[in-house]
Amino acid sequence: MIVIDSILNLASTIVNKIWPDATQVEKDKYAQALQESLQQFQLDNGQLLINQAEASNESIWVSGWRPGAGWCCVFGFAWQYVLQPMLTYFLLVFGVHLPPLPVLDTAMLSTLLFGLLGLGGMRTVEKVNNSRK
């Protein structure tokens, strides 16, 4: 009797490996997705707690670096796309000839600004790839 039970268990295991139960496969996928979501939630929550502690710090050197970097980006974009072209135009209209005004590297500014705003393409690609599984 023990031999027959062992053979049936082995046969059942082989059949389940070849033709798995669709319900169990879906349950496993759901459990894995739930676990991944929970891990991502814990990471995001940890980052939010760090951000909150950083923003509530009394020192401007701790709480002010992100706004400072953000305002540098805003000024850089304002200079590149509004102030510098308008200043150049008005100086030419009034006949003032100056050497060329500085041009900023907007690719670097965009990278910094997108990083500060959390618009990185890597995370977007990661989310898209995870949603396809």
| Token digits of residue 52 | 């909150």
Whether 123 has a pLDDT exceeding 60, the answer reads no
Mean pLDDT, rounded, for 79-85? 92
Q: Which residue has the higher pLDDT, 66 or 83?
A: 83
Mean pLDDT, rounded, for 116-133? 62
Q: Which residue has the higher pLDDT, 29 or 57?
A: 29
Residue given tokens 């990278």 in the structure block:
111
Q: Which of 66-70, 78-82, 101-105, 126-130 has the lowest mean pLDDT?
A: 126-130
The predicted pLDDT at position 114 comes to 80
Name residue 94's amino acid.
F
Beta carbons within 10 angstroms of residue 49's beta carbon: 10
Helix axis angle for 106-117 and 65-78, nearest 10°, is 140
Average pLDDT, the chain: 81
Q: How far apart are the first and last CA of the chain?
A: 43
Q: What is the DSSP letter of 99?
A: S
> CA separation (Å) from 16 to 4, 8, 19?
18, 12, 5
| Token digits of residue 3 | 């031999």
Q: Which of 21-25, 45-49, 110-114 has the lowest mean pLDDT?
A: 21-25
